[in-house]
Amino acid sequence: MDEFLTRAQVQEAADYIRAHTRHRPTVGLVLGSGLGDLAEAVEDADRLPTADIPQWPRSTVEGHAGRLVIGRLEGQTVLVQQGRAHYYEGHSLQRVTLPIRVMQLLGLHSVILTNAAGGINPEFVPGDVMLIVDQINLIGMAGLSPLRGPNDASLGPRFPDMSVPFDRELRALAAAAAAEAGLALRQGVYAGLAGPSFESPADLRFLRTAGADAVGMSTVSEVIVARHGGLRVLGLSGISNKANLDGSTVTTHQEVLEAGRVIVPKLTGVVRGVLRRLPNEARA
Ligand code: HPA
């Protein structure tokens, strides 16, 4: 779907948020399916329904609250996006990734993207947390890029580099945070598809051969917009189900939401540890 947003439209959303919070966030956190409860940890929070924010894409999916929670967490001022919109809901990729552009215009330096994903690596079990070390942008390879259309050079370059999509320093902080919390942090490559149908066994064998460890329906386009806009990115996948490479099991959205209950405390530990280790805001 062609729908190109201008900087002025993104600015409308950013201005609304600035006018409705006392805080000036520097780190963004996007919470995936079933992971919304991570926002409960935020202190001194301002809560904004995203339905009130101009230009913001609506999420229609169960498990996505549609709220921004802005406040303090581990010495940082964070903007937490509880629930995201997906391409399969009918939005353009520019609309889906508008929240990342808004974070850019609000002056955030980093964003932590979380998602629920199917585990393709046979060693992964539901409940695992995977640090995303790289991504396969399958939806992009199929021609769907959030950067398609006119490039506003004030937001980023026409041909952005993607040699290091996930920030090395943030990855190291996540590994250190997980070690301190006694959590086994998996590492792997995330493949992003359009959804909403889950993958066939042959899709999954293809993804495994291509080097994917986990698969989901979000994140990759957000990473591209964040890198285009100069934000540093940390990606964490909660493995909600074993991808069904031989057709012997069925994957359901309910299963994805239920796995979130096991994953949220682990993710909370990693995210808290990363925030605690970041330079404090004065130096950021
Ligand atoms: N496939 C795609 N997306 C997902 C899955 C899956 O198995 N689990 C959670 N999100």
Task: Say what the pLDDT of residue 275 is.
Answer: 95
Q: How far is the CA of 252 from the centre of ligand 1 (A)?
A: 9
Rounded to the nearest integer, the mean pLDDT of the chain is 92
Other C-beta atoms within 10 Å of 120: how many?
A: 26
Active site amino acids: 33, 64, 86, 88-89, 116, 217-218, 241, 253
User: Rounded to the nearest whole angstrom, what is the distance from the C-alpha of residue 236 to the centroid of ligand 1?
Assistant: 14
| pLDDT band (50, 70, 90) for residue 283 | very low
Beta-bridge partners for 132: 188
The rounded percent of the chain whose pLDDT value lies above 70 is 96
Query: Quick count: other Cβ atoms within 10 Å of Cβ 239?
Result: 27
Domain ranges of the chain: 7-279
CA of 74 to the centre of ligand 1 (A): 30
Task: For residues 180-208, give the mean pLDDT.
Answer: 95
- Render pLDDT for 162-187 as a digit per residue (tens, 0 to 9): 999 999 999 999 999 999 999 999 99
Mutate to test the pocket of ligand 1, among 203, 215, 236 (most ligand atoms within 8 A of CB): 215
List, for residues 15-25, the tens digit of each pLDDT value: 999 999 999 99
Strands 67-73 and 185-192, by their bridges, are unpaired
Exposed/middle/buried for residue 127 (C-beta within 10 Å: 0-12, 13-18, 19+): middle
Q: Which residue has the tokens 């996006």?
A: 81
The residue whose CA is least distant from atom 5 of ligand 1 is 118
3-state DSSP assignment of residue 36: helix
**Residue 32 to residues 85, 96, 114, 222, 247: CA-CA distances in angstroms?**
10, 13, 5, 12, 26
C-alpha to C-alpha distance for 150 and 141, rounded to whole angstroms: 19
Least confident window among 6-20, 27-41, 221-235, 246-260: 246-260
DSSP code of 57?
P
Task: For residue range 83-99, list pLDDT tens digits in order.
Answer: 899 999 999 999 999 99
Report, in this order, helix, strand and coil percent for the chain, each rounded to 5.
35, 25, 40
User: What does the pLDDT average to over 131-158?
Assistant: 96
Side-chain half-sphere CA neighbours of 31 within 13 A: 29
Q: How far does the centroid of ligand 1 lie from the alpha carbon of residue 78, in Å?
A: 27
**pLDDT given for residue 259 in this prediction:** 79
Which protein residue has the closest C-alpha to ligand 1 atom 3? 216
Residues in contact with ligand 1 by the CB-under-6-Å rule are 116-118, 198-199, 215-217, 240-241, 243, 251, 256
| pLDDT the model gives residue 83 | 85
Instruction: Kindly report the CATH class assigned to 7-279.
Output: alpha beta
What is this structure's pTM? 0.94
Choose the residue to mutate in 135, 199, 242 for probing ligand 1, maximizing ligand atoms within 8 Å of C-beta: 199
Q: Is the pLDDT of residue 282 over 70?
A: no
Residue 227 to residue 219: CA distance in whole angstroms: 12
